[in-house]
Amino acid sequence: MVASTLLVVGVLIPGVLCQSGSNILSFVDPLIGTVNGGHVFPGATLPFGMAKAVADVNGEDQGGFASDGSNITGFSHMHDSGTGGASSPYSPTLLMPLFMMIMATIYYSLIDNERHTHGLPDRHKLYATSPSLGNFPIFPQAGCPDDLLDNCVFPKTTRATPRINGTVEAHPGYFAVELATNIKAEMTVTNHTALYRFTFPETPTEANATLSPLILADLSDLPNSRINGSISVDNTTGRISGSGTFSPSFGIGSYTLHFCADFQGAAIRDTGVFMNDRAGTEPKNLSVVQDGVNNSPEILPAGAWTRFHAPNSTDNAILARVGVSFISAAQACSNAESEIPAFDFDAVHTAAQDAWTDTLGVIEVIPGQGVDPSLQTVFWSGVYRASTSPQDYTGENPLWESSEPYYDSYYCIWDSFRSIHSLITIVDPASQIRMMRSLVDIYRYEGWLPDCRMSLCKGFTQGGSNADIVLADAYLKLGSLAQGVDWQTAYEAVRTDAEVEPKNWAVQGRGGLTSWKELGYVPTDDYDPYGVGAFTRSISRTVEYAYDDFCIAEMAQALGYAADAQKYFGRAENWRNMFNPAQNSAINGTDTTFTGFLQPRFLNGTFGVQDPIFCSPLLNFTSCYLNPDGHETYEGSAWLYTFFAPHDLAALITTLGGPTEFVRRLDFLHESGLLYIGDEQAFQPVFLYHYAGRPAKSAERVHAYIPSQFNDTTVGIPGNDDSGAMGSFVALAMMGLFPNPGQDVYLITPPFFEEWSVTNKITGKRATVRNVNFDAGYEGVYIQSATLDGVVYTKNWLTHRFFLEGGVLELTLGRNESAWGTRSEDLPPSLSTGHNLTGYYKW
């Protein structure tokens, strides 16, 4: 880098300044993806923090808040980000009927976790999962009309208040919005505690009210899933604390959460509880159970409140500190007291910013002259979103005693294995190692690895047992750095996925495992009396199981279990077994000219038919979810799944007619409207050209999707962010090292910036990728030649050793496709071409 030149130019064009240190945070926009189905949580959180504070709305509320102009119902302290399904209905008497919840616990989950909901038929909402968490919202009012307690509003439906447009501010560790009642709400967090600063107007907007703020705490959550709860208020201190049992948003069982709210800034006037729309100063506590009459989870508004005299500060501010805990209300209080002893909003905010600067600051970007600053926002915001979940609940797990870390909100690994964990492994390997330890610990105590997990509950399995992939990925990449992970138990866990069919495979392991072992595929008309789960997705489960087994084989090989390795490498071949070489595909009666697709296959070995374009955006896009009639591919078409053989693309390319024909088919996938980039299975096909010796086409393809589908607007995410999956995709794609997750492989394309570096937090080594002949218009996105640490480098991929040991990868770009990275010896490894797939990094 030519720092001095860059600085001089930087005065004129801020975009070329090196982005590092605290100025990184100005490039993070948490509001990206807060409408249009992104479902992003835009509030205040620490990296992987448990407390996640934001304003909750009555619109698109999966992430709590949405930039949709809907009204604000409260401020709550825990959220998940980017999850699927429909928003909560407006009515408080709402929700999934109980029979559906019971059926869900059996297995008929009737749930979609993925697709955004706008524009979908109403019927779809019936099958949707609910928003997550959002428990114990607090809500401020400046004064009760006529100063009468009962004139204040208590239920969510009546208290919902418009925001003042243009007042939303969102930054790492900070969120603010002003209500139409002229109350400004600001929030920041520590790991388990939210701190709010409510600034009240001198004159309340409420009729005939004088300034005497009331803050209530509501025994509810975003989806109104409360099963029971209790709350109490201390008349002397104004402290409100309580507990509630709720349902998880995409899983079975229930969880109990506790909170503890304290206030500072005004003298207490009086306190009490509310039930429905009435409030009183007596009693000082209440508890609510399901009424048992309607046999439904219909919940009555209930909670407690504290009313204050006019604040004693000139700015009329009252601070509310809310601790949360899964252990007890007492622990919620002690979390809050120890983490935020002084109610010092600015200090907590600064500490949160410092935590983010520390996490994101391992990356340094020299954008390059003329690069659109919005691309930096897209990039940094992507890294940011991928650093919010899984959430660190260590010390907060009531389910088992353990000294291991406990992370939650693996939501879902079906999504996160494809890029989130790969990015965390690069940017924050220490957290990735803690997450792997936590996965192993979950296996130890639950008997199974999760495929999805939230709110201490087992979430629904969408396809295979994808934790196998995440564990193999970490094992291969982190090597001896991950010695804290008990790899023997990790191996036992993945082997359990491969060998034992669970009684309820809707939430763990793999269904159809007996057929899988005997026949090498999951038959579409499977006979499976060994466990329960939805008998759908036979195609997608088959190809996912094959890849899961491949990843297990890699671990077996590396751990020295040669016989297992051989067995699972063998089972990894099973992706071929549902490939019908005779199947054609037409769109509206016009043949696509491609033959050979994955198809349903019966027990007797004959093929059935599912139109290869079915469940693509071109035909019945929303027909392949977790509902009982969800068909044979999950959230995608057979066209798309036919490309899923991440471990043996060489064989897949041969199967599909050779490199030229493969590239023609891949082009068609991208250009025909068959591919929806807003679902995670679409990530890898962007880069598969590498395996056909055409890395230049992967580079072209990346630019076709970024920024047109991933940009810095509130609609700038094409699908549910899924805990940062879309964020990690865009970040890795812009870095130009896209992983083939589960393998120690990164596919090389030119970064969107002139240069970036990552300093490995554990080894201290710095990896740099530099474009030579970089142009901000991205006309020259074709690698002509490359050097790694000054030595000519012709492979179109590299391994994680680059990040562990550091180095400089220099890519010389040009305006035309070149021969770089195209020879067979330059291609990434494939099972059938006999490459040694493990051990790139020595332990």
Ligand X SMILES: *[C@@H]1O[C@H](CO)[C@@H](O)[C@H](O)[C@H]1NC(C)=O
Nearest approach, Cβ of residue 772 and ligand X (Å)? 28
| Burial call 23-32: b when 16+ CB within 10 Å, e when fewer | ebbebbbbbb
Distance between CA atoms of 480 and 478, rounded to whole angstroms?
Answer: 6
Nearest approach, Cβ of residue 513 and ligand X (Å)? 21
Long-range CB contacts (within 8 A, 24+) of 822-826: 822/693, 822/694, 822/695, 822/796, 823/693, 823/794, 824/693, 825/794, 825/795, 826/693, 826/794, 826/795, 826/796
The answer to whether 636 touches 622, Cβ cutoff 8 Å, is: no
The answer to the question of residue 245 lying near ligand X (CB under 6 A) is: yes
Structure tokens at 521: 């595929």
Nearest approach, Cβ of residue 433 and ligand X (Å)? 12
Distance between CA atoms of 537 and 524, rounded to whole angstroms?
Answer: 8
The answer to whether 324 touches 77, Cβ cutoff 8 Å, is: yes
Please spell the DSSP secondary structure of 35-95, one letter per residue: STT-----SEE-TT-S-EEEEEESSS-TTS--SS-PPEEEEES----S--SPPPPSSSS-S
| 3-class SS of residue 401 | coil
Part in contact with ligand X (CB under 6 A); list of ranges 502-510, 592-600, 702-710, 724-732: 702-710
The answer to the question of residue 58 lying near ligand X (CB under 6 A) is: yes
Residue from 525, 667, 779, 789 binding ligand X (CB under 6 A): 525
Number of H helices, E strands in the chain: 21, 32
Q: Which is nearer to ligand X, 17 or 286 (CB)?
A: 286
Q: Name 773's Cβ contacts closer than 8 Å, sequence gap at least 6.
A: 780, 812, 813, 814
Distance between CA atoms of 604 and 843, rounded to whole angstroms?
Answer: 46
Residue from 178, 392, 428, 635 binding ligand X (CB under 6 A): 392
Structure tokens at 385: 């979103």
**Identity of the amino acid at 171:** H
Q: Which is nearer to ligand X, 227 or 532 (CB)?
A: 227
Residue from 98, 103, 268, 808 binding ligand X (CB under 6 A): 268
* Residue 24 Cα to chain centre, angstroms: 22
Nearest approach, Cβ of residue 34 and ligand X (Å)? 11
Part in contact with ligand X (CB under 6 A); list of ranges 599-607, 734-742, 766-774, 797-805: 599-607
**Identity of the amino acid at 634:** Y
Residue from 45, 129, 191, 681 binding ligand X (CB under 6 A): 191
Nearest approach, Cβ of residue 662 and ligand X (Å)? 23
Site string for ligand X, 114-153 (x = CB under 6 A): ----------------------------------------
The site for ligand X, by CB under 6 A, has a size of 46
Residue whose tokens read 């077996």? 556
Q: Which is nearer to ligand X, 220 or 838 (CB)?
A: 838
Residue from 27, 41, 48, 535 binding ligand X (CB under 6 A): 48
Residue from 209, 266, 362, 682 binding ligand X (CB under 6 A): 266
| DSSP structure class, residue 460 | P
The answer to the question of residue 618 lying near ligand X (CB under 6 A) is: yes
**Number of other CB atoms surrounding residue 41 within 10 Å:** 33
Q: Which is nearer to ligand X, 41 or 308 (CB)?
A: 308
In 386-459, where does DSSP find H-type helix? 413-416, 420-427, 429-446
Residue from 105, 353, 709, 759 binding ligand X (CB under 6 A): 709
The answer to the question of residue 14 lying near ligand X (CB under 6 A) is: no
The answer to the question of residue 718 lying near ligand X (CB under 6 A) is: yes
The answer to the question of residue 604 lying near ligand X (CB under 6 A) is: yes
Residue from 205, 228, 369, 759 binding ligand X (CB under 6 A): 228
The answer to the question of residue 70 lying near ligand X (CB under 6 A) is: yes
The answer to whether 533 touches 461, Cβ cutoff 8 Å, is: yes
The answer to the question of residue 310 lying near ligand X (CB under 6 A) is: no
Nearest approach, Cβ of residue 659 and ligand X (Å)? 26
The answer to the question of residue 596 lying near ligand X (CB under 6 A) is: no
The answer to the question of residue 253 lying near ligand X (CB under 6 A) is: no
Give how far Cα 705 sits from Cα of 292, 521, 613, 675, 750, Å: 52, 34, 21, 11, 15
Residue from 46, 472, 734, 748 binding ligand X (CB under 6 A): 46
The answer to the question of residue 165 lying near ligand X (CB under 6 A) is: yes
Residue from 182, 210, 235, 818 binding ligand X (CB under 6 A): 235
Instruction: For residue 137, give the nearest of 261, 228, 28 by alpha carbon.
Output: 261
Please spell the DSSP secondary structure of 263-277, one letter per residue: EESS-EEEEEEEETT
Nearest approach, Cβ of residue 248 and ligand X (Å)? 12
Part in contact with ligand X (CB under 6 A); list of ranges 69-77, 297-305, 418-426, 458-466: 69-77
Q: Which is nearer to ligand X, 81 or 711 (CB)?
A: 711
Strands 766-772 and 807-814: parallel
Part in contact with ligand X (CB under 6 A); list of ranges 64-72, 295-303, 413-421, 536-544: 64-72
Residues 551-590 that bind ligand X (CB under 6 A): 587-588
Part in contact with ligand X (CB under 6 A); list of ranges 132-140, 453-461, 598-606, 734-742: 598-606
Please spell the DSSP secondary structure of 166-208, one letter per residue: T--EEETTEEEEEBTTS-EEEEEE-SSEEEEEEE--SS-SSTT
Instruction: Please give the residue ranges that form the binding site for ligand X (CB under 6 A).
Output: 46, 48, 58, 69-71, 160, 162, 165, 190-191, 207-208, 227-228, 235, 245, 254, 265-268, 270, 289, 312, 392, 525, 587-588, 602, 604, 606, 618, 620, 623, 707-709, 711, 713, 715-716, 718, 836, 838-839
